[in-house]
Each structure stands twice: as structure tokens, then as C-alpha cells.
Amino acid sequence: MGEFELIATYFKRDVKRAALGVGDDCALLAPAPGMQLAVSSDMLVEGRHFLATVAPERLGHKALAVNLSDLAACGAKPLAFTLALALPRADAAFLEGFSRGLFALADAHGCELVGGDTTQGPLNICITVFGEVLPGQALLRSGARAGDELYVSGTLGDARLALEVFRGTVSLAGDAFDAVLCAMEQPQPRIALGLALRGVASSAIDVSDGLAGDLSHILQRSGVGATLDVDKLPRSEVLRAQPLALQRLCTLAGGDDYELLFSAAPSRAAQVRAAAARAGVPVTRIGRIDAEASLRLHDAQGRAVSNQFDSFDHFRS
């Protein structure tokens, strides 16, 4: 199978909204009048962002999901994406599964593939997503204010728990392992929640490198600090069955969660609950924004917990 046959077989589909899709030098997008275009790129490398054991269908899902998660954190509506793919060889079984998982998630969010590139090389997946948002409505990292409440969607830490199973530091089997594996391999981008939080949240970020690290980006960009109750961090029953130190590591510094972390003024609390209900995603209040810089952690009894939870760093980890 050659390069152009590969594209035609697995990746060329008619576009509905874009003015021109796959097959020319450029794709052509026709932005709706007055809309801003939200753009994000994420690159996935084997061994860093996924394990060699992952099913191709789940990898196709995840590659797009981590990009859609950036649109969600911005409150943008997905429109289109490009896919650049380096493959060791044109493997039909891989491509069939990968494209199936990719397009299932793309279709679920009305996000169409408009272009890209394929080349021979070490497996590498680079997706750039495009979404639309009204000027002034994008959720940014810079809008948190002292007194705001801090929230996170879904549960945290299961993806990291799955990684620890692969590393051999934790034993899990059966349904418990399937559940955390699914969290790691098939994250659900919180698009509906991001859209519902426009005009409600004062700041937002998606949790990809671990809650403590990603929160620090909000704090730095907003010029504020925060206090978190580490016992309030939402976690699955599977994670709750693990030792407390592991629970804290996974929820605070896990990475690969793809939940939304956001702040909102206390007066918006009812609107936050309504947005969560509308999106069908649980949201938990986990702390508050302070005027005093840096992040303070405490437990349910109010005792200080030391913050040794660094963000994942691709060049330090």
C-alpha cells in the first residue's frame, strides 16, 4: 500500500462544513462571521503518551481526545482537525483500527478531518484541532480571582493508577483493571461542559500533566494562589481502595486525566451546578482561589499536606 492509497482508503472523507477537505495543497475553512478560531496542536509519541500495547482503535480515539480536551478547556465548539502521522510501515490492521477509533470520536463531536500528512518514521501522531468561539467568550487560564471557588470534573487519578499497574508497582485485575485502563486509553473530552461554562467559569485548563501542576498554570497566569482540600479530590472506587499516599499521588500528580479544572465566583455556584447537569458530567468543588500566591494543600481535618506533587515534564520525567 502506497502513501496516496493509504490516505484514500483510511483518511479521505467528504467534508460538510469546510470549503475544501483532504486532497489539495491546503484545506479551506470558512469561519462563521465574527467567530474566533481556537487552535491547538498535540503530538503523541509511543512510550510517552501511549504504550505499545494499546489497541489501535483506542489510540485513534485518544489522539483526537487529548486535542479536543484543549478545545473543551477553552470553551470552543469543535469544527475540524488535521492529522499528521509517521508510521514505521503502512500496516492495514493498525490503520483500520486507528481510523475507526479516530472517526468515531470525531463524528461524536461534529469535528471533521480536513487535511494532514503521512510519512514513514517512528510512530508519531500530531493532530491540530480547530474550534470556534465568540470573541471574549473563550475560557482562559488568566481569569481566576481571589475568592473564586475551584472545581474539577469527573474523577482524577485512574489513568495514573493504570500506568502503575503496567510499571508493576500496583496489582489490579478484572473489572477494576479494565476501568482504569479505559480511563488511560479512552479519555472523554469534556466538550459539553466547556461550552456550558462559557460566561460562568472565570478560568479553566484541562488536566493533562497532573492537577497540582496544571493548577499552577492558572495561578501563575492569574497572579493568585489557591487552597485545596486533597480529601475532596474526586476519585473512583478503584482508586479509593488503594493506599492513601498512592491516592494522593494519582489525583494530584497523575497526568492524563483530561478533566476540566476551573474557577468560578461563589455567586456562580448555581450556574456551575446547572452547567454540570446540562453537560451530564459530575463536578466537584475542591478548594478556593486566594490572593496569597502559591498552592496550599490540606486534608479533611484541616491539617497541612506538603506539596511535593510536581507537574509532569517531558524533559525531566
- Considering only residues 124 to 143 of the shown chain, the ones binding a second copy according to CB under 8 A are 124, 126, 128, 130-131, 133, 135, 138, 140-142
Interaction with a second copy in 166-195: which residues (CB under 8 A)? Answer: none
Shortest Å, Cβ 34 to a second copy: 8
Identity of the residue, 180 or 204, whose beta carbon is nearer to a second copy in the bound complex: 204
Binding mask 197-236 for a second copy (x = CB under 8 A): -------xxx--------------x---------------
Shortest Å, Cβ 159 to a second copy: 17
Identity of the residue, 73 or 172, whose beta carbon is nearer to a second copy in the bound complex: 73
Radius of gyration over every alpha carbon of the chain, rounded to an integer in angstroms: 20
Interaction with a second copy in 227-286: which residues (CB under 8 A)? Answer: none
Identity of the residue, 108 or 140, whose beta carbon is nearer to a second copy in the bound complex: 140
* Helix/strand/coil (H/E/C) assignment for every residue in 70-132: HHHHHCCEEEEEEEEEEECCCCHHHHHHHHHHHHHHHHHCCCEEEEEEEEECCCEEEEEEEEE
How far is residue 281 CA from its own chain's centroid?
Answer: 14
Mapped onto helix, strand or coil, the DSSP state of residue 173 is coil
How far, in Å, are 56, 71, 234 from residue 102 at the CA level? 9, 16, 28
Q: Does 34 bind a second copy (CB under 8 A)?
A: yes
What residues contact residue 317 under an 8 Å CB cut-off, 6+ apart?
none
Identity of the residue, 12 or 298, whose beta carbon is nearer to a second copy in the bound complex: 12
Binding mask 66-105 for a second copy (x = CB under 8 A): ----xx-xx-x---x-xxxxxx-xx---------------
Mapped onto helix, strand or coil, the DSSP state of residue 39 is strand
Interaction with a second copy in 4-33: which residues (CB under 8 A)? Answer: 4, 6, 19-20, 23-31, 33
Q: Locate 267 and state its grid cell.
A: 455567586
Shortest Å, Cβ 300 to a second copy: 31
How far is residue 10 CA from its own chain's centroid?
Answer: 25
Give the count of residues interacting with a second copy (CB under 8 A).
74
Shortest Å, Cβ 170 to a second copy: 24
The DSSP 8-state label assigned to residue 7 in this structure reads I
H or E element, residue 251: helix 244-253
